[in-house]
Each structure stands twice: as structure tokens, then as C-alpha cells.
Structure 1
Amino acid sequence: MAPQTEDINHQDSSTDQNRPISTIVIIIAMQTEALPLVNAFELIEDADSVFPKGTPWVRYHGTYKGLNVNIIWPGKDAVLGVDSVGTVSASLVTYAAIQALQPDLIINAGTAGGFKAKGACIGDVYLACEVAFHDRRIPIPVFDLYGVGLRQGCSTPNLLKELDFKVGKLSTGDSLDMTPQDEASILANDAVIKDMEGAAVGYVTDLLKVPAIFVKAVTDIVDGDKPTSEEFLHNLSAVTVALGKAVTRVVDYIAGKAVSEL
């Protein structure tokens, strides 16, 4: 099948840093994380999916302050009924959303674990300046760098100055817990926060040349004294409220601006 030149050319033009942002896509892994934003932006669920038939991916959309806002949630696993978290779902929905909606900007929003040794506290909101993987260990020269997959988030100096979020590096893996090998890789990544989607979203947005912002709110302290799963579940509801407020502030700031003004 021949390449779709029209789509490729559109993605090239979408990186025009001086063009006002018109369409944004918010990639978010869990329904609990998504719903506060769906309500805040008064979005509706897509009746006729823009995604391939049979996929569980959900799109909420609407207009907010002149922006075409889309929230993409990977939906529930068809067999087990749980949120489709992790890097595979995140990369697939990011790719599909970019192809279908041609956004000017991607926002990957979600919860994350934080490291108290790096100054993270429950409820802190971070903008990730860099994203990388910590569980793709390939100890062969050059392949090792490919495994880490380090990528930069979109530069947003003005947004950071205005909203005063914390800034730190994000490390991504497909497990909620942390093995000693993961810990060593996270330390090597100099990460302040860890999640299960960010670097996968970063891979796709870098591939298709769409600017991306990573907004993460801390639900659990990875190097603390409480079991990660228990602390995550205990804090999830409250932290998703904080996440929703933070992302709303980001979108409020974006409205009417170009990427170059962020």
C-alpha cells in the first residue's frame, strides 16, 4: 500500500511553531483520570468512533475557549474489564489519534509515582522535560540507547513561568512496582517521576513530529515506606482532581497561543 502523502504533509505543516493552536489531543490512560477533565471541558463521547472497528478506544470531544479539545482514553480491556494501561495501548491510541484528528499539540496527562529523594510529594504536579524507558534493557552498544529511548518534551518556558509547576524527568515502564534493575535504570535516567505511558507517547509524537507536553500528578512515593499499589489506590481519587485542575490551567494558557508562545 502506498504511503498516504497527504497525512504526512499535514504533520509536517502542523509543526509550524507560529500558527495558533487549534486542535489538541489529551492522551490519558484511566477513566478515573479522564472524567474530571471531560466534565471540566463539557465534552461528549463520540457516537461514531473515528477509530478502527473493534477497538475499545474512547474519544471525548468538544470546543473549549476556541480550541478543538479531544480526550482519548484507551478504554477497558475486552476480557478483564480493567483500564487498558501501559505502553502498548498508549502508543497505539496516540498514533491512531494523530492520524484521525491531526492535532497541533498532544498533552499526555496522568498520575505517576514520585521519588522523595528528588523532592516529590503526594499531589505534586510535574511537567516532564524529558521522557525515557527504564525496562527496555538491551546491553548491546547503541541498542542500549535505543532501549532507553530518551526524548524531549515540548519546550514551554512561558507556560512554566506562569503556572509554576515542578519540572522533572519522567521514566516509563510497564510495571507498577519497581525491581532492583528498574531502580538502577530509573536512577540512570535521573528521573523524578515514573509512569506507564509517557515515553511511549513520546516515541510516537517524536516519530510523527507533533509537539507533546507531559503533565503528571504524583499518587505514590516510590522510595517511601508504603506499598506502591496501596498508596496509589488510596490517593488516586484526590490526585486525579489535582491533575484535572492542572490540565485545565494548561489548556486555559494554551488557548489563543501558538506553540512558539508556550
Structure 2
Amino acid sequence: MVSHDDDNNTHVVEEVMVAEAEKRLVLTIVIFIAMQTEALPLVTKFQLSQGPDLVFPKEVPWIRYHGIYKDLRINIICPGKDRVLGVDSVGTVSASLVTYASIQALQPDLIINAGTAGGFKARGACIGDVFLASDVAFHHRRNPIPVCDRNGICAKKTFPTPNLLKELKLKVGKLSTGDSLDMSPHDEAAIIANDATVKDMEGAAIAYVADLLSVPAIFVKAVTDIADGDKPTAEEFLQNLVAATAALDQAVTRVVDFISGKCISEL
């Protein structure tokens, strides 16, 4: 039988370990990006290489770009292309698997999920805006049973970065995640309930895994389409992808520059 004293001691040890971890310099970063189109400008910016390595199983299409930028070990990870259809393996399943494998293999001090997203004009989002997510939640996991409904939504606060926000002056909003680019009436109602400003197809899944393994994670999202606008989502997404990716590239570079030389607790 475990005594209350043992429980208290365990909590104290965990708190001490967290405090010590937050005092360590950030040295290794994993940047998860779902689409290679979004990733390649940053690969060039940070002068990363794809070189062959044994970080991931040879059977998976996942791609790792890596190198040293300033004092940071940067790893940009993409889930790669579907081997049959040749399209990016977007969505929560790939995001969860790749995030788990990356944490296990690379032991990062910080995860950055960077990517494009839909935005809501009713919440102040415009094409090309870049948001740092304050909260994440799912909008497609519906289970109308008490407690199970909250488990499906899986709402979480993201890792707080008050100094980064003050310095970079990024917009802040809640992020809602689902496995579809478009938005059904059920999804829309859930997104409104989540009080979300932006929606994507990976963020909450990455947050779940990062929280499970106690790795700080932040979420940088550039708006490609207006989800509550009057244009077809797919059309607007493709039309604005290049411009939004450029805005994302600039924002992530500024985030990484700010992180360089700092401890987690200084973010």
C-alpha cells in the first residue's frame, strides 16, 4: 500500500524535476510541419540537411531535416507523402505518431508545431495573420456521454511564453483541431464552443502527445483561408498557401531566434 507521505514525496520530486528542467537552456527543438511546402523555406533558412539517418523506422515516409542554427539543434519533421497517393500525410493520426516517435528518438527540450490554418473573421482573423495558440482542443471527437465528451474535446492550455509574446507581438487565439479541411455544421458548432480563432488538422493531437510525455509545446499558425467567409475553403487555401507560408516562415524564424540562448522558464 502506498502511503500519503510517499505520494507527497513523489509530487515534491516531480516539482523539483520540472523546476530544474525549466532552468536548462533550450538546446534541441523539434518543429513539426505537416506539409513539405510549408517546411522547405525554413529548411533553407536554417540551412538544414536531410541526410540519411536511423532516427525513424525505414518503413515510414517521415522526413527529418536537421542541423545546427545558432546554438540550437533544429529538427524539422514532416510526416511525408502517402506512398500510394503521393499527397502529404496530414491529419491527427500522422501527427500523433510522428510526434511520439520524435520525442522518443530526439528528446527535444521544446516542440514547435508550425503550419497553416483556417481563421475566423468573427474572431478577428485575416488572411496572412500569424497566431500563437493559447489553448488547443478537438472539434471532431464527439461522444455525448458525460465525462467522455470532455475527454473527446481534450481541451488544454499551451505552454506559456509571456516573454516571447511581448517581444514578437504575435496575435493570440485558441486553436481547434479536426481531421477535415472543410467544416460541417457539427464541426462549426464544436469550434464555436471551443471559442477558437483558428482551426487546423494537427495541433491538438501534438499537444496531447507532448503533454503525455511532459515536453513543452507551442503552436504557430498562419491563416490561409477564412472558415466563416464566403469562398470555398479548398480554393482559398490553395490561393493563399504561398503567401501564408511566407508569413509563417518569418514568424517561426523570429520565434527560434528569440529562443536561442534561453531557458524554458525565460520564454
Return the TM-score normalized by structure 2.
0.93
Q: Which amino acid aligns with 1:174?
A: D
Equivalences for 1:166-177 in 2 at 5 Å? Answer: 166-177=171-182
Amino acid at match of 1:162: E
Equivalent residue in structure 2 for 1:129, among 131, 134, 137? 134
Task: Determine which of 91, 100, 104 is the counterpart of 1:99.
Answer: 104
Q: In 1, Cα distance between the equivalents of 2:57 and 2:70?
A: 30
| 1:249 aligned residue (249, 254, 257) | 254
2:56 equivalent to 1:51? yes
Map of 2:191 onto structure 1: 186
**CA shift digits 1:28-55 (9 cap, x unpaired):** 0000000010000000003124101210
Which residue of 2 is the match for residue 238 of structure 1?
243
Q: How many residues align?
A: 252
Q: How far is 1:238 from its partner?
A: 1.2
> Structure 1 179/15 Cα, relative in aligned 2: closer, same or farther at 3 Å?
farther
Residue 223 of structure 1 aligns to a residue whose secondary structure is coil
Distance in 2, Cα, partners of 1:252 & 1:135: 35
Q: In the TM superposition, what whole-angstrom CA distance separates every residue of 1:102-122 from its partner, at most 9, and x where no partner exists?
A: 000000000000000000000
Q: Which residue identity does 1:258 align to in structure 2?
A: C
- Cα deviation code 1:177-235 (max 9, x no counterpart): 00000000000000000000000000000000000000000000000010000000000
Q: Provide structure 1 residue ranges, at least 5 long, that are not aligned to the other structure.
A: 1-8
Amino acid at match of 1:137: R
Q: Provide the C-alpha distance between the structure 1 equivalents of 2:85 and 2:19, rounded to a whole number of angstroms.
A: 38
Alpha-carbon distance in structure 2 between the residues aligned to 1:95 and 1:172: 18
State the 1:152 CA deviation. 1.4
Unaligned runs of 5+ in 2: 1-13
Which amino acid in structure 1 is aligned with residue 246 of structure 2? Answer: V
- State the 4+ residue runs in structure 1 displaced beyond 2 angstroms: 12-15
Equivalent runs, 1:130-149 vs 2, <5 Å: 130-149=135-154
Q: Deviations over 1:2-24 (max 9, x none)?
A: xxxxxxx9xx6797111110100
The residue type equivalent to 1:102 in the other structure is Q
Closer, same or farther: CA 107–170 of 1 in aligned 2, 3 Å: same
The residue that corresponds to 1:6 in the other structure is none
* Alignment partner, residue 84 of structure 2: 79
2:200 alignment partner in structure 1: 195
SS in 2 for 1:141: coil
Q: Does 1:162 align with 2:167?
A: yes
Q: Which residue of 1 aligns with 2:70?
A: 65
The alignment's TM-score, normalised by the length of structure 1, stands at 0.94
Query: For the residues of structure 1 that align with 2:64 and 2:169, how far apart are their CA atoms?
Result: 30
CA RMSD of aligned residues (A): 1.3
Report the Cα distance in structure 1 between the residues aligned to 2:79 and 2:239, rounded to whole angstroms.
23
The 2-side partners of 1:100 and 1:68 are apart by 14
SS at match of 1:139: coil
Inter-partner Cα distance in structure 2 for 1:21 and 1:257: 6
- Structure 2 distance, partners of 1:61, 1:219, is 27
2-side partners of 1:176 and 1:90: how far apart?
A: 15
Query: For 1:195 and 1:137, how far apart are their aligned partners in 2?
Result: 17
Query: Cα distance 1:14–1:86, how it changes in 2: closer, same or farther (>3 A)?
Result: farther
User: For residue 5 of structure 1, what is the aligned residue in structure 2?
Assistant: none
Distance 1:14 1:220, change over 3 A: farther
1:113 is aligned to 2:118? yes
Instruction: Calculate percent identity across the aligned residue pairs.
Output: 72
CA separation of 1:15/1:24 partners in 2, compared to 1, >3 Å: closer, same or farther?
A: farther
- Whole-Å Cα distance in 1 between the matches of residues 121 and 186 of structure 2? 19
SS of aligned partner of 1:16: helix
